């Protein structure tokens, strides 16, 4: 959850949006796209080559490695591309550029940054353009370091969308996060949230976090950590705003009340700080999983939050953890779900998730019937806009990453008649 990102970049994001808007009205048609924030190693990841947050494509020695640069045009037309690149001392290299079925080889000469010969192509419709770079031959250990892709031409005349702010390079490579903000069908105190989540087959990319039960003070969902590890993750923020958990005063620390079997607990930082719990559990794409969250005041100026996950193999609810948040006196608020990628090297891959059968409990179960779509500052600052949400036959969906072209306007509201069955849960028998 990008709390730090939100706070740090709220005003920057707003200014960036204004900057993009005015830029789109100018006649300037040449843009320098930094590979540091807009490129990925898309083939040969196990070989050499990396995207540096400062220098772009570096340490590139394998001719099996492909680096891809992405940007979005707002109109059809012709483009002219050049690379800004340099060789290491005493070497030369030839690079193949390909995009939209066109391919051309260019020479990189010298050890000072300079532009290569131009490469021309035609763009048939607005949307994202993928430009692939592949090493052909070299005289030294490495192919050229490439810092920028220079883009000009008629298709760029109304502006381009790409990451142009160094503060956003890391976040842009992760891709924009997106959210569903559920309309609470009750004016009473809500003590439980219930949600069901299905990750379609093939959409469970490494680095994905599919967050089911978000609330004002934390989040609860499932993630893909590696080829062999997946987790159920439940976190609660401290009321003390910091990215360093060690700086939290004792009276504002999150306190663990209990945890379930095989659950690891501790503190987290970097995006706000607080208490975190996770259980390693290899959940499967294509299957539906159930999430239950409780949040109630303890009557002493604190609020207790507890998360349960229904394990299909056991046909039973398992507690993940229960935390006490000090200096907090609230029932559950701001029911939401979100989709994010936490691995910047995986940001060129798309992912999708379906959320369905949402209910809230205020003394009785009440179905959620609508939700609104929102995005993070990476999107709002127009650094990347490949994130959408909408309705399926079963509920709602979110999709991000992959540089697709469909647009759903942030703030869009989705109505869905929830005909699912209310949860049948004996609260007194929950672990």
| Pair (179, 152) in one structural domain | no
The DSSP H or E segment spanning 421 is: none
Domain boundary among 102, 129, 156: 156
| Pair (234, 284) in one structural domain | yes
Residue 123, strand partner residues? 77
In this predicted model, which residue has the larger pLDDT, 168 or 26? 168
Spatial contact of 92 and 86, defined as CB atoms under 8 Å apart: no
pLDDT of residue 23: 37
What's CA 117's distance to the chain center, in Å?
35
Domain total of the chain: 2
In this predicted model, which residue has the larger pLDDT, 387 or 48? 387
- Does residue 210 have a pLDDT over 90? yes
| Pair (106, 181) in one structural domain | no
* Cα pseudo-dihedral 314, 315, 316, 319, rounded to 10: 60
pLDDT tens digit string along 186-207? 999 999 999 999 999 999 999 9
- Kindly report the pTM of this predicted structure: 0.91
Structural domain that includes position 112: 28-156
- Does residue 361 have a pLDDT over 90? yes
| Pair (149, 210) in one structural domain | no
User: Looking at residue 129, which CATH number applies to its domain?
Assistant: 2.60.120.260
Q: What average pLDDT does range 337-362 have in this prediction? A: 98
- Does residue 8 have a pLDDT over 50? no
Rounded distance between C-alpha atoms, residue 30 and residue 241, angstroms: 42
Q: In this structure, is residue 281 part of a structural domain?
A: yes
- Does residue 272 have a pLDDT over 80? no
pLDDT of residue 267: 62
Q: In this structure, is residue 182 part of a structural domain?
A: yes
Spatial contact of 413 and 212, defined as CB atoms under 8 Å apart: no
pLDDT of residue 242: 77
Reference 2, options 183, 147, 178; nearest CA is: 178
In this predicted model, which residue has the larger pLDDT, 316 or 24? 316
- Does residue 27 have a pLDDT over 70? no
Q: In this structure, is residue 314 part of a structural domain?
A: yes
Residue 292, strand partner residues? 194, 308
Reference 9, options 159, 136, 170, 145; nearest CA is: 170
């Amino acid at each position: 959850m990008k709390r730090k990102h939100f706070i740090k970049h709220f005003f920057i994001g707003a200014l960036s949006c204004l900057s993009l808007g005015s830029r789109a009205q100018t006649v300037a048609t040449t843009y320098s796209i930094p590979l540091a924030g807009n490129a990925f190693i898309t083939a040969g990841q196990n070989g050499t080559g990396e995207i540096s947050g400062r220098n772009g494509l570096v340490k590139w020695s394998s001719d099996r490695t492909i680096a891809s640069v992405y940007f979005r045009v707002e109109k059809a037309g012709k483009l002219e591309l050049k690379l800004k690149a340099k060789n290491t001392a005493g070497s030369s290299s030839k690079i193949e550029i390909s995009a939209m079925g066109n391919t051309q080889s260019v020479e990189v000469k010298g050890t000072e940054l300079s532009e290569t010969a131009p490469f021309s192509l035609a763009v048939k419709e607005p949307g994202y353009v993928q430009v692939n770079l592949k090493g052909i031959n070299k005289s030294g250990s490495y192919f050229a370091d490439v810092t920028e892709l220079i883009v000009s031409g008629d298709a760029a005349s109304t502006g381009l969308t790409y990451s142009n702010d160094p503060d956003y390079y890391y976040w842009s490579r992760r891709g924009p996060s997106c959210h569903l903000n559920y309309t609470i069908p009750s004016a009473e105190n809500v003590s439980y949230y219930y949600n069901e989540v299905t990750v379609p087959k093939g959409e469970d990319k490494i680095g994905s976090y599919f967050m089911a039960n978000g609330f004002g003070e934390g989040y609860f969902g499932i993630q893909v950590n590696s080829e062999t590890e997946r987790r159920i993750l439940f976190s609660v923020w401290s009321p003390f705003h910091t990215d360093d958990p060690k700086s939290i005063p004792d009276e504002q620390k999150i306190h663990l009340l209990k945890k379930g079997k095989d659950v690891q607990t501790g503190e987290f930082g970097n995006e706000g700080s607080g208490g975190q719990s996770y259980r390693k559990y290899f959940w499967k794409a294509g299957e539906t999983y159930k999430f239950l969250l409780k949040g109630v005041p303890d009557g002493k100026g604190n609020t207790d939050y507890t998360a349960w996950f229904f394990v299909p193999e056991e046909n039973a609810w398992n507690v993940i953890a229960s935390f006490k948040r000090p200096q907090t006196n609230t029932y559950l608020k701001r029911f939401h779900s979100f989709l994010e990628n936490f691995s910047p090297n995986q940001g060129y891959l798309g992912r999708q998730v379906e959320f369905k059968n949402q209910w809230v409990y205020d003394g009785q179960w009440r179905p959620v019937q609508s939700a609104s779509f929102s995005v993070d500052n990476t999107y709002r600052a127009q650094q990347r806009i490949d994130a959408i949400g909408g309705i399926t036959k079963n509920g709602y969906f979110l999709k991000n990453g992959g540089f697709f072209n469909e647009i759903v306007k942030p703030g869009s509201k989705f109505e869905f008649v929830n005909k699912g069955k209310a949860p049948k849960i004996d609260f007194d028998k929950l672990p």
